[in-house]
Amino acid sequence: MPALRLPLTNGGVGMLLRNIVAGVLIVALPVILLMTDRHWVLSDQHRAVAHVADIPPNLSGELTRDLDRIVYYGGIHVPREPTKAEQLYQLLVITGRAPPARLTLDRTPPHYGYSVREWSFLGMPFGWYEEYGYVVYARDRWQLVMAPLIPQADAMLMKEVGRDLKQGFFFPFWAHAWGWLYVALVALWGWLYYRGVLEWRRAEGII
């Protein structure tokens, strides 16, 4: 039996591309919804910190020698919401259908970052705005902790580190607005579908 081949026509290529884009959209959305810790409804409450620079360990300055304590005891604690996949796994553990996971603290050392809040929908970020600006932050399995810096403390940190940690920093806007990529793929599918309808109508002699 001869293999089925798609004719190399504009209509055939367009249909192939439309099916590929549709497949990506169909697969991507449930994965995003299951794996994200962002809200599914329209929200501006998701807090995030863009990494700016590492802070060298074992510094002996007045500020940096107590930086870990300052962050964890004086910082703002933002609990990390479990993803839907994690909630499902927890349900399986409770019902005895899955073994409990081995949990570790995995606390990170303090880093220098830039604090924002994201506009999100369906678990995808579509924009951001500044919340606290430059902060010292750390993470563990359950939370994000960040300590906003007043200008005097920020200047002291730069002096004790020995360089301007902001130098060379470029805000990674794509990490906080990649939801527009999904919208662009939806628009591409719509355009390909429209082109397919026009090709069909031309072939049928309707136009």
Residue 146 sits in the same domain as residue 93: yes
- State which residues form the domain around 5: 1-35+178-207
Residue 172 sits in the same domain as residue 160: yes
Antiparallel, parallel or unpaired: β 43-54 and 76-79:
unpaired
Residue 63 sits in the same domain as residue 149: yes
Residue 157 sits in the same domain as residue 199: no
User: pLDDT tier at 4 (50, 70, 90 boundaries)?
Assistant: very low
Cα separation of 76 and 108, whole Å? 16
Higher pLDDT pick, 15 / 4: 15
Residue 13 sits in the same domain as residue 77: no
> Is residue 71's pLDDT more than 50?
yes
Query: According to the model, what pLDDT value does residue 102 have?
Result: 67
Query: According to the model, what pLDDT value does residue 9 have?
Result: 54
Residue 135 sits in the same domain as residue 47: yes
Query: According to the model, what pLDDT value does residue 53 have?
Result: 95
Residue 172 sits in the same domain as residue 202: no
The answer to whether 157 and 53 are in contact (CB under 8 A) is: no
Residue 19 sits in the same domain as residue 94: no
Residue 146 sits in the same domain as residue 68: yes
Q: What is the mean pLDDT of residues 175-202?
A: 91
Q: Please state the pTM of the whole predicted model.
A: 0.81
If residue 31 lies in a helix (H) or strand (E), which one and from where to where?
helix 10-35
> Is residue 189's pLDDT more than 90?
yes
Residue 194 sits in the same domain as residue 139: no
Of 65, 60, 159, 52, the C-alpha closest to 112 is 52
Higher pLDDT pick, 54 / 87: 54
Query: According to the model, what pLDDT value does residue 8 have?
Result: 44
Chain segment 141-163, per-residue pLDDT in tens: 889 999 999 999 999 999 999 99
Residue 29 sits in the same domain as residue 51: no
Q: What is the mean pLDDT of residues 26-48?
A: 93
> Is residue 182's pLDDT more than 80?
yes
Query: According to the model, what pLDDT value does residue 7 have?
Result: 47
Q: What is the mean pLDDT of residues 75-100?
A: 79
Residue 127 sits in the same domain as residue 202: no
Number of domains, the chain: 2
